[in-house]
Structure 1
Amino acid sequence: MKKRVATRFSRAAESYAGAARAQAEVARACAAALPAGPCGLAVEIGAGGGLLTELARERCAWSRYVALDIAPGMLARLPLRGPHEAALVADGEAAPLRPGRADLLLSASAMQWYRDPWRSIPANLELLAPGGAFALALFVEGTLAELARASAETGFGSVLPLRPAREYVNLLASLPGVAFQWRELEAAHTAPSVREALAGLRRTGATATPAPRAHAPARWRAFTRRYEELFPVPGGVRVSYRAVLLWGRREG
């Protein structure tokens, strides 16, 4: 699954920035939650082509920066500035960094791909030194709800199963020494057609699912028809996203 995720995102590297409307909104909210001012080492997980990176630079003045991403094609487009910034092709669930060294941890639209968030997110937070700050945003249950329903009713396609926001909130609440706040983010976009809604997903690379289905023409027609019946809006069809934003500090 992780290899498929990396491949899909790498293939979409050139089209990602122009198509990632929901991801851009999530990145803006994540950046706004970061503490303003100077900091030491900043670590970004799932940096991709730099949507969050560029926004975070406007708010945080880090002395060192390390970006991790499993998709080399995306990471190749990350704009680095000078010898004190580095990019590593690496999985955030096995971050090749020493705990307790980072002053800032940031991530947007990446951790929903984690296989084991209950182990991996606490391990990510352990990268922070005491007093270190974090802002994490990830897509949750309710994202692409229209696609999920039409798919379930017609047998065409599949979606990535996403966890409820409350599960991530409860996870962080269970961690000693982590003080945080949270809120949910919701957005509904309009796609001109069902075909264009799916094409937009392909342009972002967010198409890897655990159980891909064969695209039989009859099922595609049924899927398109059902999606249009259930979720019409002026100008096309609705495409919904939901994310959770978690931000705070690791206390001493």
Structure 2
Amino acid sequence: MKLQVKRFFDNSFKTYDNNANIQKIIANHLAGHISKNYYEQVLELGVGSGLFTKLLMDKISFKKYVGIDLSYNLLTKAKSKFDELSFINADIDYLPVDIARFDIITGSSVLQWLEFPKNTISLLIQNAKKGTEFYFSIFLEGTFSEMKHLYHLTGFGSVFNLKDENFYKDIFYNFNKSEWIFEKQNYVLYYDSVQEFLKQHKKTGARYTEKKSFTSKQSYINFCRLYEELFKNENNKIPVTYSILYIRGVK
């Protein structure tokens, strides 16, 4: 799984910033939740090209920042924007840093890519020091609901098997239940055509699924036709639904 996820994101380093529309919306909303303007030690998970990093830099000041991402190419792009910051190319499921030193641990649109989410998130919280603040946004089941429906009809457009909000709530509620705040938001973005959406989605690199990628040309044609027939609105736009969970809390 991780090798394919890494390969897709590595290949998107030239196109990610101009196509990550939903990721920008999510990052802005998450940044708005951060409560303080100074944290001595900052850990950002899933830096990508630095979209959320830029919002962090505008929002807070700090003594030390560490950013981690699986994609070397995207991380190199982030480094070119923020040369003064420390970045590590690593897998979040196997973090190479001492979690206990950080005052804030955050990441936008990243935890859904964990291979061992229950174990990794639990260790993050367990190993953090008392008072550490956490801020995350996560893609949930319900994202690409239109595409998932059409996949069952056409065999084209498989989607990644995302978790529901209760899966994540159960993990965080194991630690100081009263300290966690959850906010679920659904977003719908509209595109002029199915082809436009698919091309833009591909350019973000966020396209790993557990299914084999090969499908017939006819499956693709049927997918595009049915998407428009079933979902196109009165303005001749096609909708794409995203379901997001925002999590914030203190250990």
TM-score (norm 1): 0.94
Q: Cα gap change, 1:178/1:54 in structure 2, threshold over 3 Å: closer, same or farther? A: farther
Compute the displacement of 1:157 (Å). 3.1
| Runs (4+) off by over 4 Å | none
| Structure-to-structure mapping, 1:42-121, within 5 angstroms | 42-78=42-78, 79-82=81-84, 85-121=85-121
The aligned residue for residue 13 of structure 2 is 13
Q: Is the 8 A contact 1:102 1:127 kept in 2?
A: no
Q: What RMSD over aligned residues (CA atoms) do the two structures have, in Å?
A: 1.4
With 86-95 and 175-184 compared, the bigger mean Cα shift is at 175-184
Q: Distance in 2 between matches of 1:185 and 1:172?
A: 18
Note closer, same or farther for the CA distance 1:178–1:11 as it changes in structure 2 (3 Å cut): farther
C-alpha distance in 2 between matches for 1:40 and 1:121 = 22
1:167 is matched with which residue? Answer: 167
**Cα distance in 2, alignment partners of residues 200 and 125 from structure 1:** 35
SS at match of 2:243: strand
Which residue of structure 2 lines up, in the alignment, with residue 33 of structure 1? 33
Aligned residue number for residue 242 of structure 1? 243
Q: Residue 187 of structure 1: SS of its match in structure 2?
A: strand
Query: Could you say if the C-alpha distance between residues 178 and 3 of structure 1 is closer, same or farther in structure 2, counting changes exceeding 3 Å?
Result: farther
Q: Indicate the SS of the match to 1:58.
A: helix
**2:130 aligns to what?**
130
Asked if 1:141 is matched to 2:144, the reply is: no
- Displacement of 1:125 in angstroms is 2.5
The one-character-per-residue Cα deviations of 1:33-90 (angstroms, maximum 9, x if unpaired) are 11222111100110101111111112211110011000011111112252xx211110
Query: Aligned in 2, Cα 1:213/1:77: closer, same or farther, shift over 3 Å?
Result: closer
- Decide whether aligned partners of structure 1 residues 177 and 238 sit closer, same or farther in structure 2, where only a CA change above 3 A counts: closer
CA distance change for structure 1 residues 81 and 130 in 2, over 3 Å: closer, same or farther? Answer: farther
Higher strand share: 1
Using the TM superposition, name which of 239-248 and 32-41 deviates more. Answer: 32-41
Partner of 1:222: 222
CA distance in 2, matches of 1:134, 1:74: 23
Structure 1 residues 166-175 or 3-12, which shifts more? 166-175
* Partner Cα distance (1:96, 1:228) in 2: 46
Report SS of the residue matched to 2:168: helix
Instruction: Compare 14-23 and 121-130 and name the one that shifted more.
Output: 121-130
- List gaps (5 residues or longer) in structure 2: none
Per-residue CA distance 1:88-122 (angstroms, 9 max, x = gap): 11011111011311111010111101111110111
- Contact 2:155-2:215 within 8 A present in 1 as well: no
> How many residue pairs get matched?
248
Following TM superposition, by how much is the alpha carbon of 1:218 offset from its aligned partner in structure 2, in angstroms? 1.2
Question: Residues 177, 232 of structure 1: CA spacing in aligned structure 2 closer, same or farther, 3 A cutoff?
Answer: closer
Identity, in percent, stands at 25
Shift of 1:236: 2.3
What's the offset of the Cα at 1:176? 4.1
Partner Cα distance (2:115, 2:64) in 1: 29
Give the conservation status (yes or no) of the 8 Å contact 1:160–1:208: yes
CA distance in 2, matches of 1:213, 1:62: 43
Question: Matched residue of 2:103: which SS?
Answer: strand
Describe the SS at the equivalent of 1:131: coil
Distance 1:106 1:127 in 2: 15
